[in-house]
Amino acid sequence: MPNAEIFRQVFLNEGINFTLQEPVFYERVQIGVTANPTASTVELFVDNFSIQVE
């Protein structure tokens, strides 16, 4: 589950009122990157998780 407090703080720093309902569960994990170049810093937040394939 994502850490709702981290999301709240990051969005608050940008002036966005954000509330992530808890608990939040995911049916899949997807991490991707874009081929579009950017001069801006891109942050990726990953909480602890494990994947088991049987």
- How many domains does the structure of the chain reveal? 1
Question: For residue 26, is it within any domain?
Answer: yes
> Is the pTM for the entire model greater than 0.85?
no
4-30 pLDDT per residue, tens: 788 788 888 989 887 766 666 666 767
For residue 10, being part of any structural domain is answered with yes
User: CA nearest 29: which of 11, 52, 9?
Assistant: 52
Decide if 17 is inside a domain: yes
Q: Is residue 14 part of a domain?
A: yes
Establish if 7 belongs to a structural domain.
Answer: yes
> Which residues span the domain enclosing 18?
1-31+42-47
| CB proximity list for 17: less than 8 A, separation 6 or greater | 11
Tell me, yes or no, whether 37 lies in a domain: no
Let me know if residue 36 belongs to a domain. Answer: no
Q: Give, in degrees to the nearest 5, the angle at Cα 32 between 47 and 26.
A: 45
